[in-house]
Structure formats: C-alpha cells, structure tokens
C-alpha cells in the first residue's frame, strides 16, 4: 500500500479561448460603431436688452412664410414658392451678403419644410446672421 501523497499537477488555465472571445468582441464593436461626425448647427439664443433695435434696418432682409407656404420678401409676394425664385429675389434685393441680416417670420401653421427651405437658400448665399420669429395668428395675405 502506497501511503505517500502523489505529485499534484498544477492546474492550467487555457487563455486561448478567452483571447478569441475578446478579439471577436473587439471586431464586433469596431464594425458596429459609427465614425461619421454629425453636422453641427450653432444656435445663438436671443438676449433681453433695454434698447430695442428695429427689426428691419438698411440692408436687412425680411422673409415672411405664410401658413400655405407662400413667401413674402420685404413685404412683396413671390410668384411661386420654389427655392430658385426665392434665391433670385434675395440676390436682387441684397447683392452682397457681407453684413446683411435676415429675419425669417413664419406663421405658426407654416410647414417646417417651408422655413427650412428659406434657411437653406440663405445659408447657401452666405447669410450668417439669421433671426427666426413665429406669429401665431394666420396672416390675411394668404
């Protein structure tokens, strides 16, 4: 009878499968992650001041959007609501956009697309000082 304790073997941990799982997770997260940088829009919120500035000054431009999507540039109606017509009217009134300010006044029931179209045309022309306001009551000019 052999009463001597036998030689115990050291337990082994196989790390190969653990490394495989970690690498698979790494590849999964790399593939599923989106590296596209979203475009940013900087919005400057209005501030209250004691001295009120007149909305339309010399060289400023005011565009009104009605509930039906019609555009009025400095109080004059456009023949249609296409972006090219709007662009032509803006270029005619403000040939250089250096220090010009744009005020977009939209009816409360106007579609979002109509306002975005005005902002898109103005942005492509180079306007950087854009104010947006909303009127709740519908306009009688419709």
Pair 65, 107: CB distance under 8 Å: yes
Query: In the chain, which stretches have pLDDT less than 50?
Result: 49-58, 138-139, 142
CA distance 81 to 92: 16
CA distance 73 to 33: 45
pTM for the whole structure: 0.55
Beta-strand relationship, 61-65 and 129-135 = unpaired
What is the per-residue pLDDT for 86?
93
Run of H or E including 104:
strand 101-107
Domain assignment present for residue 114? The answer is: yes
Domain assignment present for residue 123? The answer is: yes
Domain assignment present for residue 78? The answer is: yes
- What are 81-100's pLDDT values in tens digits? 899 999 999 999 888 877 78
Distances (CA, A) of 65 to 18, 52, 94, 129: 62, 24, 19, 18
Domain assignment present for residue 115? The answer is: yes
What is the per-residue pLDDT for 131?
85
State the number of CA atoms in the 13 A half-sphere of 4 facing the CB: 2
What is the per-residue pLDDT for 85?
93
Provide the number of structural domains found in the chain: 1
Domain assignment present for residue 50? The answer is: no
Domain assignment present for residue 104? The answer is: yes
Look up the domain containing 129 and give its range.
61-135
CATH number of domain containing 77: 3.30.420
Domain assignment present for residue 18? The answer is: no
Domain assignment present for residue 7? The answer is: no
Query: pLDDT averaged over the chain?
Result: 80
What is the per-residue pLDDT for 37?
66
- What are 41-59's pLDDT values in tens digits? 676 665 654 443 444 444 5
């Amino acid at each position: 009878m052999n009463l001597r304790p036998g030689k115990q073997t050291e337990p082994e941990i196989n790390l190969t499968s653990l490394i495989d799982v970690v690498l698979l997770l790494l590849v999964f997260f790399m593939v599923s992650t989106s590296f596209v940088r979203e475009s940013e829009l900087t919005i400057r919120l209005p501030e209250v001041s004691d001295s009120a500035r007149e909305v339309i000054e010399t060289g400023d431009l005011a565009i009104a959007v009605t509930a039906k999507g019609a555009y009025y540039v400095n109080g004059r109606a456009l023949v249609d609501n296409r972006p090219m017509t709007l662009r032509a009217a803006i270029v005619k009134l403000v040939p250089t956009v250096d220090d010009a300010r744009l005020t977009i006044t939209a009816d409360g029931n106007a579609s979002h697309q109509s306002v975005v179209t005005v902002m898109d045309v103005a942005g492509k022309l180079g306007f950087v000082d854009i104010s947006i306001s909303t009127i709740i009551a519908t306009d009688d000019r419709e």
